[in-house]
Structure 1
Amino acid sequence: MRNPVIPPSEQSLTAQILQDPLHPFACYRQLRAQYPVYYSHEFHSWFISRYNDVQNVINDPVIFSSEQSIRSRPKARQQHANAARTLLWTDPPRHRQLRSLINLAFTPRTISNLAPRITEIVHTQLDHVASQGQINIVTDLANPLPIIVIAELLGVPIQDQQQFKQWSDIIVSPARQEKKQAVIAMNSYFQTIVDQRRQQAKDDLISALLSAHIEGTYLTEAEILSFCRLLLVAGHETSTNLIGNALLTLDEHPQIMEELQADLTLIPDTIEEVIRYRTPIQRLRRAATVDTQLGGQVIKAGDIVSPILGSANRDEERFGHPEEFDIHRIPNRHIGFGHGIHFCIGSSLARLETRIALEVLLTRFKALRRKTDSELEHVASSFVYGVKSLPMTCEN
């Protein structure tokens, strides 16, 4: 029988997080202080909230498996058996092989070479709204920017980019049936492009993935399709919410926004603090492979474990004054993009897009202020942190 972990109120802590996903941090604080390993009946998983425990979980694929966290879902077992494993849901040694092969195509140079195009896209998006004196950071910039970048990277026609956005939103939402249909549609779409690139390679990522090999080992077609899905969804959601979270946080700290306008070289450190302060991906999913103990709790083999990155990044034992937004924080060893073998492969792209977006926004506009007549609404996801809309006035 599972160890009882009962909070001191009738309403569980994770139910409170579900009710107010924009402000989970007080609940995280209570979890860390009193229930660092807490079983959530709402999420059917153990919530792990302290930095050291979170790091230990995500660094130990032998005891806490990514692959088995998917197989543990009864309805997904047969689907998983017939499907390719993605980087997110693969354990070593296949994870190392997959990552090595993908790294051959998705190189640091590939990312850095995107900078001029990203700058052009940001300016184009702002040109549409600059004369209006207001901008919706999410819908006018943060949403379309990564979609356009990823679509062009993969070699997707411009007319299909809006479909990308719809698929991505469905995948991170709680709508299970719609999610399944979206995955099927995405696979079918990318399969067509893969077939075309086999016939005639182009200068795009899918062609590079098809040709990547190490000692005669290539990615399977199913693995290429799964990486395309991963890049689309994770790349879009991470960048979109990182940009939105950055502007939301800077609006709450106008003196820091002025400091950045005076010195744009502070932007990279600011982005790292945004990742810590409002982590775009709040929690992960693992499965215990054996009976084990963590934080005084017995976790049974097969139990789902959810390390909370957003809580770990505000752990008082790791960060001084963790509730403060401090762009000069040194050191800032957040784990907002994961850690170890599952460190986010698209983190460099998210950082680049966010840096350029902030540089252009803070250069083009003298002042940016959130329009407080519109209420902030959290995105439809229990593991992503971000807002659906962020209207701001912009002074040229």
Structure 2
Amino acid sequence: MTAPTLPDLFTWLEQSRRDGEVHYDERQRCWTVLGHPEVSAVLGDPHTFSSDLGDLQPRQEDLDLFQRGNFVQMDPPRHDSLRRLVSRAFTPRVVAGLAPRITTVTSELLDELAGAERFDLVDDLAYPLPVIVIAELLGIPAADRPVFRRWADALFERPEAGPDQPLTRMLDDRSVQAVAAVMREMNEYLLEHVRAHRATPGDDLTGNLVQAKADGERLSDEEIIGFVGLLLLAGHITTTATLGNTVASLDEHPDAAAEVRADPALLPDAIEEVLRLRTPFPRLARRSTTDAVIGGLPVPAGDVVVAWLAAANRDGRVFADPLRFDIRRNPNPHLTFGHGIHFCIGAPLARLEARIAMEVLLRRYREIAVDTAASVYRNPWVMLTPTKLPVSVVPA
């Protein structure tokens, strides 16, 4: 899927907005929530809008095993207990301490290119950087990153997803079976990793998890599988997307790129604007636990509700001139990392990795040009990220 298809998603979202910030989509068989305040209300009320969609998909043992520790798809109180176990590992202060390592890894990856004037930004930097960092945090061999990438590609590449496809189709038996083999391989790999740490706990996040207690009880190996797998995948894929999207956005907006080069202090705000306009995960699904009201409309209990982060981030009621790429936008209350109790626990790390990587890139190369025609993107209805981003560079 090449870059020219990306606007199709945003065109569809703006056309959908004509039906109201909240409306029922007959084709997708769910409630579509597009407005910023409405999306915030859904995500901020986990008791009314549950993250647990397990009963919408057929039971499959490999997925069931992974879900035991996947706190992203859990509701309170279990969600809160499990999230607390890793929250201290992702505080801004702890993450800031990783800055030297992130700088070193970024420099080493670019050094390995041996002065090449053309390379793939995703293959050579945006993917390996965050994988190495999160693997080291978890105590998993970073050398296995080609395996991790294959897992991510299998789980996030859903070519069938689109405006005419019911969301529940992505949870049906055929879709579940398509990823079952990958889930089985991932579970087996992680179980071996967890058991090794159980026998000899290391000074890493997995070592902490095998000794931690939730609600007074130690986590089972099976629960830790989902825990570690979630952190491994989510701990790299958002940064990969953000870094690739930032390079692509600055290439599309040369004036903004020149401003950032002239004043690197603008880089954090520029990254936030990229996160707003190129939201890596465009939507989040919830299910109403009781009869509810969203945006003044009644939503029956049991209905699927889709909160479109990508649309909320372009809501003209909140963002002035919402389609403009403005690296000086302030405030910028985008919802890219979610809202409420499920706010992305890795957001500080993703922001730091993207900033440091961009700083190193801009210092090392005085020109970075994207080969748009050769760029490849995932299906944007699933995830907005390049999987191939060839660039030509001129050393500084």
Please report how far the alpha carbon of residue 42 of structure 1 lies from its aligned counterpart in structure 2 after TM superposition: 5.2
Inter-partner Cα distance in structure 1 for 2:354 and 2:248: 13
Aligned pairs for 1:115-130 within 5 A: 115-129=99-113
Inter-partner Cα distance in structure 2 for 1:33 and 1:385: 23
Maintained 8 Å contact 2:82/2:214: no
User: Identical aligned pairs, as a percentage?
Assistant: 40
Inter-partner Cα distance in structure 2 for 1:135 and 1:96: 43
- How large is the Cα RMSD of the aligned pairs? 2.4
Question: Is 1:395 the equivalent of 2:379?
Answer: no
Cα separation, partners in 2 of 1:321 and 1:160, compared to 1, 3 Å: same
Match of 1:90 in 2: 74
Amino acid at match of 1:162: P
Match of 1:285 in 2: 285
Match of 1:261 in 2: 261
Inter-partner Cα distance in structure 1 for 2:61 and 2:140: 31
Match of 2:152 in 1: 168
SS in 1 for 2:73: coil
Q: Deviations over 1:291-325 (max 9, x none)?
A: 33434554332221110001000000010011001
Maintained 8 Å contact 1:72/1:302: no
Cα separation, partners in 2 of 1:306 and 1:76, compared to 1, 3 Å: farther
Maintained 8 Å contact 1:290/1:301: yes
Maintained 8 Å contact 2:66/2:222: no
Please report how far the alpha carbon of residue 238 of structure 1 lies from its aligned counterpart in structure 2 after TM superposition: 0.5
Q: Deviations over 1:211-254 (max 9, x none)?
A: 23478444343332111111122222211111111111111111
Task: Give the stretch that moved more between structures: 250-259 or 82-91.
Answer: 82-91
**TM-score normalized by the length of structure 1:** 0.88
Q: Deviations over 1:30-76 (max 9, x none)?
A: 22233323444554432211111111111111211002x22222446
Match of 1:248 in 2: 248
Inter-partner Cα distance in structure 2 for 1:255 and 1:102: 40
Maintained 8 Å contact 1:46/1:306: yes
Q: How many residues align?
A: 376
Inter-partner Cα distance in structure 2 for 1:151 and 1:204: 10
Q: Deviations over 1:168-194 (max 9, x none)?
A: 121212254342222221111111111
Maintained 8 Å contact 2:44/2:340: yes
Maintained 8 Å contact 2:68/2:223: yes
2:38 counterpart (53, 67, 78): 53
Maintained 8 Å contact 1:22/1:378: no
SS in 2 for 1:383: coil
Inter-partner Cα distance in structure 1 for 2:314 and 2:16: 12
Maintained 8 Å contact 2:131/2:142: no
Maintained 8 Å contact 1:291/1:299: yes
Please report how far the alpha carbon of residue 381 of structure 1 lies from its aligned counterpart in structure 2 after TM superposition: 6.1
Match of 1:3 in 2: none
Match of 1:237 in 2: 237
**TM-score normalized by the length of structure 2:** 0.88
Question: Is 1:202 the equivalent of 2:187?
Answer: no
Please report how far the alpha carbon of residue 78 of structure 1 lies from its aligned counterpart in structure 2 after TM superposition: 11
Please report how far the alpha carbon of residue 88 of structure 1 lies from its aligned counterpart in structure 2 after TM superposition: 1.0
Gaps of 5+ in 1: 1-18
SS in 2 for 1:322: coil
SS in 2 for 1:34: coil
Match of 2:128 in 1: 144
Cα separation, partners in 2 of 1:360 and 1:105, compared to 1, 3 Å: closer
Cα separation, partners in 2 of 1:188 and 1:152, compared to 1, 3 Å: same
Inter-partner Cα distance in structure 2 for 1:285 and 1:115: 33
Inter-partner Cα distance in structure 1 for 2:239 and 2:148: 14
